[in-house]
Amino acid sequence: MLVFFKKIRHRLLTDNKFSKYLFYAVGEIVLVVVGILIALSINNWNEDRKEEVLELEYLERILTDLKADTRYFNRQIVECKQVMELSYQYIHKAYEEQKSKEDYVALVELFTDRTENLVIQNSTYLELNNAGKLSIFKNQQVKDSLIALHRDYEYAASRIKEFNDYHSNLLSSSLRVYPRKYSKKRSFIFDKPYMFNTKEWEYINDPTSEEFREQEWIVAMFLVKHAEAIEFHKALLAKIIFLSKLIEEELDNRK
């Protein structure tokens, strides 16, 4: 093809047809420019297509993360309610007379020091954010909702950790949570009658004692902590459901 064009230029020049040569040269330049523009357009189309495929992959991954978080928060709400119920029972049962070691053990079993910081699926978001690729999402509402959700994640995580740390400090500084050996989990260690003494748990029958009040406060704060956690979980769950629907709609529209 290049040889063909070269022959035409040579013939026009030898025939002294300069005006035709000039016209031809301009046409050749135009063809080259058009070819370049077409090549660029094809390249841009390919790049846009690659980016669209990547965007859809990220949307699918985020949706998978959100489904995992939905299960997680639903489970957390159930578990927090269980802890709250046990803590409530403990506080009220503690005011009843504990007549035997068995009564006290039954009371101790109601207390749980379950402490869990917020754990979410954020690997996909962190990958996007760290790589500066959040702009890949064409749907502005999806992008804004995703950023807002993870901002709320961070706030909830810091508040829950703060409350967990506060409660852990209460536990570590308390005069007496309860004699640990009365827990059923340790019964295989403390399995002889002479290992137990009524004086170890007689405080529980004196609501005016410092140990009783301190233990009551620890359990009460534990109940409050889980109540606050439930509110965070419910609020985050609502935003997760909203974002999930946005992404599902976006994926349906792009099929």
Q: pLDDT digits over 210-249, tens only?
A: 889 988 999 999 999 999 999 999 999 999 999 999 999 9
Region 150-173: what's the mean pLDDT?
90
**Is-contact 221 170, C-beta < 8 A?**
yes
Average pLDDT across the chain, whole number: 83
pLDDT at res. 186? 84
Region 184-197: what's the mean pLDDT?
87
pLDDT at res. 4? 47
Domain of 113?
72-253
pLDDT at res. 2? 46
State the Cα–Cα distance between residues 65 and 48, nearest whole angstrom. Answer: 25
Q: Which residue has the tokens 């403390």?
A: 190
Alpha helices in the chain (DSSP H): 2-14, 18-93, 101-108, 123-130, 140-173, 210-253
| pLDDT at 26 > cutoff 60 | no
Q: Into how many domains does the chain fold?
A: 1
Asked whether residue 41 is assigned to any structural domain, the reply reads no
pLDDT at res. 253? 87
Asked whether residue 198 is assigned to any structural domain, the reply reads yes
| pLDDT at 115 > cutoff 90 | no
Asked whether residue 183 is assigned to any structural domain, the reply reads yes
Asked whether residue 145 is assigned to any structural domain, the reply reads yes
Asked whether residue 81 is assigned to any structural domain, the reply reads yes
Asked whether residue 62 is assigned to any structural domain, the reply reads no
pLDDT at res. 39? 53
Asked whether residue 3 is assigned to any structural domain, the reply reads no
Measuring CA to CA, how many Å separate 113 from each of 85, 144, 170, 188? 13, 37, 11, 21
SS3 at position 192: coil
Region 8-14: what's the mean pLDDT?
52
